[in-house]
Amino acid sequence: MKHMYNMAMLCLIGTLLSTKIFAQDPEFTQFYANPLYLNPALAGNKICTRVGINYRAQWPNIHGTYNTTGFYIDKLVHQVKGGIGLVAMHDRAGKGTLNTTGVGLIYAPHVKINRNTTWTVALQAGYWQKSLNVENLNFGDEIDPRRGYIFNTQEQLQSAAVGNFDLSAGTVLTMKHFFVGGAVHHILEPNESFLEGNSPLPRKYTVHAGGIIRTSKSHDGDSYISPNIMYRQQGDFQQFNLGVYLKRESIVGGLWYRGNDAFIVLLGLEKERMRIGYSYDVTVSRLTNASAGAHEISVGYQFSCKMPSKKYRPGICPSW
Query: What is the per-residue pLDDT for 141?
Result: 75
Under 8 Å between Cβ of 317 and 210: yes
Query: For 123-165, what is each residue's pLDDT tens digit?
Result: 999 999 999 887 777 777 778 777 777 777 777 665 588 899 9
Amino acid identity at 71: F
pLDDT score for 218: 66
pLDDT tens digit sequence for 1-52:
444 444 444 444 444 444 444 568 999 999 999 999 999 999 999 999 999 9
Q: How far is CA 27 from CA 3, 128, 172, 186, 233, in A?
A: 26, 15, 20, 15, 12
Closest CA to 314 of 101, 35, 125, 97: 35
226-239 per-position pLDDT tens digit: 999 999 999 999 99
- In the chain, the amino acid numbered 262 is A
157 and 120 Cβ atoms separated by less than 8 Å = no
Burial status of residue 226 (CB atoms within 10 A of its CB: 0-12, 13-18, 19 or more): buried
Which range (21-25, 79-83, 266-270) has the least confidence? 21-25
For residue 7, give the H/E element and its range: helix 2-16
Is the pTM above the cut of 0.75? yes
Per-residue model confidence (pLDDT) at position 116: 86
CA distance 109 to 212: 23
Domain boundaries, the chain: 2-302
The confidence score (pLDDT) of residue 17 equals 45
Which residues, 6 or more positions from 208, have their beta carbon under 8 angstroms from its beta carbon? Answer: 31, 38, 39, 180, 181, 182, 228, 229, 230, 231
Query: Which residue type sits at 61?
Result: N
Burial of 148 from C-beta contacts in 10 A (0-12 / 13-18 / 19+) = exposed
β partners of residue 264? 256, 281
2-302 maps to CATH 3.30.590.20? no
Phi, psi (rounded to 5 degrees) for 4: -60, -45
* Band of residue 286 on the pLDDT scale cut at 50, 70, 90: low
**3-class DSSP assignment, residue 91:** strand
Burial of 280 (0-12, 13-18, 19+ CB in 10 A): middle
